[in-house]
Structure 1
Amino acid sequence: MIPARASADPRAGRAGRFRAALAISLAALSLWLVGDQVVALNASRVWDAAIDLPPEALVASFALALLSHAGLAGYDRLALTRLGRYVPWRRALAGGFGGAVAAQTLGMGLVTGSLARARIYRANGLSAPEIVALTALVTAGFFAGLVVALTALLAFDPKPLAHLVGTRPDAVRAVACAVLALVASGALARRWLPERLSFLSMQVRLPGVKWLVSATALAVADLVPAALSLAVLLPVEGLPGPTGFVAIFMAALALGHMANLPGGVGPFEATLLLALPAVPTEDLAAAILVWRALYYLPTGALALVLAARAPARSGTRILAGRALEDRLRWVLDACGQAEAALVHLGDKHVFAPEDARALAMYGVGAGTWLMMGDPVGPREDWPQVIDGLASEARAAGARLAGYKVGPASEDIWRAAGFAVSPLGSEASVAAADFTLDVPVRRELRRKCRAADKAGMFVRVHPPGGAPLAEMGSVADAWRDAKSGREQTFSMGHWAPDFAARHVTVTGRVAGQLVAFATIWTSGDGREWMLDLMRMTPDAPAGAMHRLVAAGIDAAGQAGADRFNLCMAPLSDLPRGRGAPWAARLGGVVWRLGGGRLGLHGLRRFKEAFRPDWAPRGLASLGPLGTVEALLTARALVRGGARIAGTDPARMPRVAIPPPAPIPAPSPNAAAERPQDREVA
């Protein structure tokens, strides 16, 4: 829907009058240039020429037209990245197709394209200004790509346009090369400009080289098949070479779209009549008429169907704003899931139905909304949360999947129609009776003694009391040694504000911080869960085993029932013919690449604590849904979370302020004996 204030804006009125004057001028110029040829056309001969077109040419033309529209549908995905909004790829392709077809077929592209997109994206939360901006960005991408592709063709073969405008080919090539150089310079100059520009009260990312290359690729994918779909309907004898014809077609289409007329009618035909004098006029007119019918009518009907059948929002009443923050605080304070601390990372959305006491965290990926872990809150409300979020995802054109689904929710997912495939096993130990002085933990005892002999002092800090500056240096050293980037979504990454919320265990040697581990605690205090483990390359052997053992001791002293050591990915997966295909594939990865990927070492680290193991799985819909969910999980864990891509009113992202900092430990704490592990 177009904003009402747009009609009252004097600038909008002037722009509308300019577009109308341009359309009338181009139509009048077209009629003046080719009026004699149009008047001389014999309608019966045009009809006969259309009837005589061979069936194989019609089939080829239609197939190429469909291929062209497949490229045309990609412009919306490119434009959405400029707006910082994310829409599942199925819906983005549908919006790109429907909006582009409406704009091209009906003319007045900014209006008709925006109306079509507003209908198709109505469940995705895009506002009216965003829809208008999206249409404008699509138009800019189309013309930018067209200009680059057309000038590149003319630099290669300038003869067709030189003949059309009556000048020398060298002059056309020089102008084309100059335009290419100007466009390239503008794209390269992007690095010296601001990253974002305010537009219609939004922040729009300015285009750069990558955007220009993508727009050009889409223009080639769209316009080359479109040109060929017309070429196969024309007699070969009167046509220039392929590059020349494609260049003529692009120029004709550009003039037609600039006129904002339905299908570019008028300037498009006039350009072709002038540029293809060797093609009999009746044959050219017949080919254009048949091409328009094949190119516009079926796709126009499909665009109408897409717009008519575009789903509305699911109707679920969802908490937002302050009400959501209040509900989130209440749930987190009462829940027994330490993993709920992940909500504070800021890379997830929160789904909280008004009439349920539970909520869910999720990320948005390419076609999949991925719920992180089990819903948070009372288990009796979990089915309502899973069903509600699945409905929201369907309305937005996506599928719901669950990542790290636990045994407590597997039956709920299956009852909702999802298949659950094993992902790995999660380790936990009973905190209350944990001790190193048992035979099964002799390896752990040996590693802890090695750290003690190296003089490592261990301290447990409450939330807000950890030495964050020193921890940042350790985290940097760890990242540099790993030559990788931090992961997120299903685990914490180094962020001082996030770390300040949690219990921290630090290890020092000679007063120097060499290792730390952060630990989440559930709202009811019954579960503690290991998060970050970071150490410097010169940390003593057994340092991390000692820190985690100290964390488990602290959990037991604080009254916790269990200490969660997190999941060992791809371990304990079922084998054999009865196992899900994803589990069998994961087993192959475990056996062939688990050592190189560090999976075997992670499993051995956890096994040293002799924990209990419980399965964790992936809930998904069908084989394709499983593949999409796995790819989405990989992208989100690697830092590809889309936090600005959905309606903030319906699908909000929540960041609760961190707790007030607690005074740091006394400066002489590091001088205490290694065996005196202080528990704050």
Structure 2
Amino acid sequence: MVSEGEQPIPAKRRAVSFVRKFGPVLATFILFGLGAFAVYEALHGITISEVISRIRLTPTHSLLVAVLATAGGYAALIGYDWSALRYVGKGVPLPTLSLGSFTAYALSNSIGLAVLSGGAVRYRFYRGLGLSLADITVVSSYCAMAFGVGVTVIGLAAIAWHPAAIEHFVPLSAETIRVAALAAFAVVTIGVAWSSVARHPIGFGRFRFVMPPPRDAALQILFSLLDIIFAAATLYILLPSGASAVVTFPTFVAVFAAAAVAAVLSHVPGGVGVFEAVILGAFATVSDQAAGVAAALLVYRIIYYLLPLMAGVLILVGVEIRERAAPLTRPGGKALSAFSVLSSLTSLMPSVAAGLAFLAGLILILDGIIPIPKPILEELQPAVPLGLFEFSNVIMGVTGGILIVLANGLRARSRSAFYMAIAILGLAVISLLLQRLDFGLAFALAFLAAVLWVSRDRFDRRTPLSAGQHSMTSLALWAGFAICVVLFFLFAQQDAEYSHSRWWQFAFDANMPRALRTAGISVSVSLIVLLFLALRPRAGASPSGSEADLALLRSLIARQDDPDANFALSGDKLFLFSDDQSAFVMYGRHGRSFVALGPPVGQKNATAELIDAFVSEAKRANCRPAFYQIAADDLAIFVDAGFMPSKLGEEAVVDLGTFALDGPERRKLRQAYNRATRDGLTMEIASPPHSAALMAELKVISDEWLGEKHVREKRFSLGRFDEDYLQNFRLALVRKESRVVAFANIFETSTRKVGTIDLMRHASSAPSGTMDFLFVALMLALKQEGFRQFSLGMAPLSGLDSSRHPRIWEHVAGSVSRLGGHFYNFAGLRDYKDKFAPDWRSRYLMTWGGIDPLLVANDVNALVSGGLRGAITRGAKGKEDDE
């Protein structure tokens, strides 16, 4: 029932909202489900024992050649980074680049970018190489474009060479496919060549990219060619002779390229299920080879994905151990240590551990479904009592299911998830040895426990296990896991008859009942735990602006360094507190955006917890989470949480320790200051409470200023003239003959690290140079009080043109800045602040999960009020409009 004054949400709008919120995850899940079912159908009629037998019969020389081909493939991947760094004009020693690039690709390829926070691996790696954010954006785009162009060109060429390879996938004749492939090949190659020669951008929608010069473009195509060929060769070498005799290698390259593209487009981590479905479909005409092809795919996954992943994890574990012994430092000069680069990736160990835990849980359960070989049963029967034997089977299902759920807690760096995972892995190892003497898998689980223990300091958050469990992604992962378990059970036990009594049959040779219990218990336990965590009442205070304890807010603001935290007192914010009330996020909501102003305020050890909680809060409301005006030093923790940065501008910060009016470089400031004093200007700092008479005098100045500028009061990231608000701060007052002609409220904290101003207004009768005088006098006064820095505020969208390859939306925002000069005189804002010789520090808008920053910027604009020009500046803080 809709209350009076409310309008019901139209069904069409609800449907659109649902698709926007859940569409991508549901599409990925559906594609995975279709792929998994296609694999199950392709394997119908063969047994698990046949597949295992084919794996054991794989020739040793084939395994060695496959490993060499894998090494060649990863060398080609390193070539992507090498050519991308050439594109942005960065040089890195080849050994350093090779080791770091291999580790980054080993992690991201094997576990999937979605698990690793949307590209955090690449961000960490490139930052470790010393690249700027602008260069990282370009290099990442370059590598993605290089892969896309390479796999398209090679795939089209291979399809044109042998169109019959995909004839059973599309309802077209071989000749029609060849003509279409040749036409598409010509369009792509001509377009790439034209862009390379003419230096003209290519792309689609808002994504545009300029190809490198012809020589570099040809080199990149070569790397792409080698990448696809080596990866395809790794699998082709492992195929049974009967399959490879039917499909030649050039034909197989076409099939492999199509499978790789399908896997990437599906967004399924690692392309699992989708990739296998395409490969198995290509061999549908040789059904007698299905077991061999399935075995080859499993071995391929182990060699091309798991082996590099284990190598990458071992490298990072080695770096972690070395860092514990002696913290790494980057060497001076031009040298760049490989270990210092790798150390930038070690912070991703929790995400890697999360992926490994999920994989370990799944493998543990699937292993429990596979019938135990008779020789092992004969060895166990006299040594292990039946009750203990069957109980260990139950433990395998329980521990596997719990590991699936704990993966999310490990990704969130939860301390409790860490301890639980260690205990669960210990139980799993014992159950494996009691159940089937599987020393290989037991060693792998012990290795995972060791990795967790070495990285134990990374799991330092008090994040509850319930964090993030309610999300559609978590539910989709669980559903995907359940599909895997059910389909694998049906495949492994296809020859056994089902009856309800099978659940209660206990015997050493009762493989089917044991598999049934393992599958049922693991799925049930994981679902129960997942629902319990997801449906638990969320701990911590609910976001509320009106009920926030002002004393607590003031206390938290005072104990940290950022003076902009004082915006929490403006009266227009909502708040989300940490569980222990040691930190908070202040935010506003407009449209479908939750926009936090600045990073979490308070204790640093609560920052990550609050970021995750804020994301959950936004998702719960079907909104986009974003953080506005984030410093470069804080980017890493946001990127780890799944946010991506877009540059807003640069903040001017003056070092008060060196600030003085002496010297030739301060001549103009000194002259302006002296002229103002001769004109009778003085500056004083008034502490609250402020008298009603003073407030009335300042109100007149404020109203006059607003009228002259034809603007209205702003909010959110800008102060406004409100007596209750201004009573929270000291005021800098400029007087002429005892009459106030200009004022500003001072943002400060008890740490006295940084001071700044918020609201700054002057009377029309104020002498020229009044604002210069206010700034200089205030900085000198704060310096005397022990403040170390003074912020002049942001120069909106400055510093964008200095980046050679800014993001598309930044071009748009830059043009708005120039147009905005008609209203706020932006064009000279940076020049004005430059005369104070500040240090320019970048500020960013952080958007979550690849959301278009323009969508969020529009909502920020509405929060601030007054068009995009109002959303991207703090009211030209520090700029005298008449000068």
TM-score by length of 1: 0.47
Question: Whose relative contact order is higher, 1 or 2, with alpha carbons under 8 Å and at least 6 apart?
Answer: 1
Query: Which of the two has greater helix per residue?
Result: 2
TM-score by length of 2: 0.37
